Amino acid sequence: MRTIGGIRMKKRVVTVLVPIVLILIVIAAALGSQILEKYSYSKNKADLNAYFNITNVDDVAMVVQDSIVEEKARLREGVCYFTLPTVEKYFTDRFYVNSTEQILLFTTDTDVVRIDIGDGSNVMYVSDAGQELGYQAAFYEGDTLYIAGDYVKKYANFEYLVHDEPLRVQIYTQWGSYTEATVSKKTALRYQGGIKSDILTELSAGDSVEILEKMENWSKVQTTDAFIGYVENKVLKEEHEAERVCSTGFQEIVYNNVKKDGKINLTFHQVFEEVGGDKLAAVLAPTRTVNVVAPTWFRLNGSSGDFTSLANQSYMTKAHELGIEVWALITDVDSLDLYGAEIDFVELLSSSANRRRLIDGLMAQVDSYGLDGINIDFEKVRSDSGTHFVQFIRELSIETRKRGVVLSVDNYVPSEYTAHYNRKEQGIVADYIIIMGYDEHYVGGGAAGSNASIGFVEGGITDTKAVVPAEKIINAVPFYTRVWESGPDGLKASTLTMNAEADWVRRTGVTPTWLDEPCQNYAEYQVNDTLYQCWLEDVESIRVKLQVMQSQGIKGVASWKIGLEVPGVWDVIADYMAQ
């Protein structure tokens, strides 16, 4: 009976233990599975189209340096193309496009290079001489212009390589040192740092990667075929500094600008009729150290490239006798066409034929009169004409450069409203940039104030120097100011010339006071309900401006205009020229 009872007892124990053991096995299996899941490496593949943000079958993803950018390229018949905005953003902003004429231009120091956009773009025309390219250089897809990367490389320093599956292009525009490492064994490049992150691609032992960022356990790296992701530090070895060398063979275009020795002291000579050498000698008699005069000889009179001329040979002869150069000025100020309308700069400057007509006309004047330079004073160019204006300056510079005559361009003090004048490009192709350092407050501006406070002048020089070499900058000072009237009828202003200020002070009985902020003498008085204010331009205000110009290291001074000044101003300008 005991034996039987013992057997029964054992059976009960087994009956109880089996489920417990089974439960423990299940728990252990579950825990093991969780541990395995936690510490095992994910084998999920990333969606590479999503990774490269490819949404169109024609898209070629772009990797610029070590970043995937939003712009996309196109691959057509084995040629990689970039949109015009992409070219301007990453490579060069110096192409000119005219969608009406269907042309793509690039202007060098000696030639205008033309591509006829579309089927004929396999030929490049250098000053109208055709050269076969072997590929289509430019085409439109809808309203989007695409330009072949190999064509862009003629004018910009970069290199690129196209990879497939998916289509992507690695682009380098900068070269230099970087940190490189070797992969020690086969491993996965993952989208993010972590073993659960999706796999971008597989790396083999011996592959080289660029280390972009190193963390505790993972490093962000870039592969030689344009993947950017993460690998574990433990698989990286032989970390060292490497050098990415530029092998493009690209040579920057050198614009051989006309350069004058020493400082320039230019004065504008406004004329409304033809005047000769005797008149020039008379207006120059009170001056000192003037070495350039810019007479307002040429005035646009239409939108087809025509202009009127007041050029005079005896004027030229006298100037040269006095050792003074003549940079004849062409202006749009007060210019009207034959129908009494303002000049349409889009019509004038977007047309290749009109630009050519204007340039040829100016060069005919240069050749006929022996001009030393041309000064461009186009003050009414709107933003819709900016690219055309810049192309005009580029093309004009070729002709002035051939003749060895100066091309100077008048510019406003930089502002967001005048950015389309593109001072940076002017500073590349033109010889001198003249800042019109006045009209800080002007009739119609809505507020009374200085014509040229020192902060305004210095800011104009500093902002221009940000994009134009100092040795190409001339700052123009005003020989005039304004008298402001604030009264019941609103704000009015009248011009007061420097040589009339003393009489104005005497007649009004005011006593000017020097203001440190604008660095000018200031006067005001009131008659009934009208307040009169004037920030004077005199010898002292000009002296301070010249001191700023000296400290900024720019090329020289200009003045608007001769005949409005007091004789003493030439003494302070002479002091500046001697420094």
- DSSP for 19-87? HHHHHHHHHHHHHHHHHHHHHSPP-PBP-HHHHTT--STTEEEEEETTEEEEEEEEEETTEEEEEHHHH
pLDDT: which is higher, 22 or 249: 249
Lowest mean pLDDT among 38-47, 97-106, 251-260, 523-532: 38-47
Query: What's the mean pLDDT in 258-287?
Result: 98
CA distance 171 to 184: 27
Q: What average pLDDT does the segment 268-296 reach?
A: 98
Determine the pLDDT at residue 30.
55
Supply the angle between the helices 352-369 and 386-403 in degrees, to the nearest 10: 30
Query: Is the pLDDT higher at 57 or at 80?
Result: 80
Which pLDDT value is given to residue 396? Answer: 98
Give percent of the chain above pLDDT 90. Answer: 90
pLDDT-derived band at 339, boundaries 50, 70, 90: low
Count how many Cα atoms sit within 13 Å of the Cα of residue 512 in the half-sphere of its side chain.
21
Contact partners, residue 416, CB within 8 Å, separation at least 6: none
Asked if residues 359 and 396 have their Cβ atoms less than 8 Å apart, the reply is yes
Cβ pair 522, 552 in contact under 8 A: no
How far is Cα 200 from Cα 223, in angstroms, rounded to an integer? 11
Predicted pLDDT of residue 1: 45
189-204 confidence digits (pLDDT tens): 999 999 999 999 999 9
This model's pTM is above 0.85:
yes
Cβ count near 276 (within 10 Å):
14
DSSP letters for 268-337:
EE--SS---HHHHHHHHTT-SS--EEEE--EEE-SSSS-EEE---HHHHHHHHHTT-EEEEEEE-TT-B-
pLDDT value of residue 121: 97
pLDDT averaged over every residue in the chain? 94
489 Cβ contact partners less than 8 Å away, ≥ 6 residues apart: none
Which whole number is the average pLDDT over 265-270?
98
Residue type, 321: E
Q: How confident is the model at residue 340 (pLDDT cuts 50, 70, 90)?
A: low
**160 or 335, which is more confident?**
160
